[in-house]
Amino acid sequence: MAEENRKLAIICSKGSLDMAYPGLVLANSALSYGIDVVMFFTFWGLDMVTKSKMNELKISPVGNTSMGMPNALAVIPGVTGMATSMMKGKIAKLDIPPVGEFLDMIVDAGGQLYGCKMSVDMMDLTKDKLYDGVIDIVSAGDFMDMSEGAQIIFI
């Protein structure tokens, strides 16, 4: 079990499938260790908690040297979809839930989810378009309050 009052504040700023999971996995692990978790979704990270997008996150082989695919091939229509399907298959095979279910688990375990006001405004979103588990839309200043004494992780 964690030291008393240990807290993790995770800023999720990316909306790709491969950069969504690290935040979800860290949040879930921390909660299971009795660590308080606040997640702050900002910029592209809002996609992770946008109802119409959260289960449709993609992975792009373009510009990702680790996927070992020549860029000239990776830009061909359909390749992003193919790479996304492959990664989703690998994730499911490891019994890791899709994004929406993973968020449910995190909320059930006590994780606190917030959307970033500036990003919500920039993307013309409203609270009703966000995942129901998002507590509120707050400012970066509010995040400063919430993350006092926390280990901050920016993804």
The residue ranges that bind its own copies (CB under 8 A) are: 2-3, 6, 11, 13-19, 21-22, 25-26, 28-30, 32-33, 35, 42-44, 47, 57-60, 62-66, 70-72, 74-77, 79-80, 90-91, 94, 96, 118, 121-122, 139-141, 143-145, 147-155
- Name the minimum Å distance from CB 11 to its own copies: 8
| Closest to 37 (Cα-Cα) out of 72, 2, 88 | 2
Report, in Å, the least distance between residue 138 CB and its own copies. 11
CA distance 61 to 104: 28
> Residue 78 corresponds to which amino acid?
G
The minimum distance between CB 114 and its own copies, in angstroms, equals: 14
| Distance of closest approach, residue 123 Cβ to its own copies, in angstroms | 8
Q: What is the largest CA-CA distance in the chain?
A: 52
Interatomic CA distance for residues 49 and 36, integer angstroms? 20
> Nearer Cβ to its own copies, position 17 or 103?
17
Nearer to its own copies by C-beta: 19 or 135?
A: 19
Do strands 36-41 and 134-138 pair parallel, antiparallel, or not at all (unpaired)? unpaired
* 49/46 Cα distance (integer angstroms): 5
Q: Which is nearer to its own copies, 44 or 135 (CB)?
A: 44
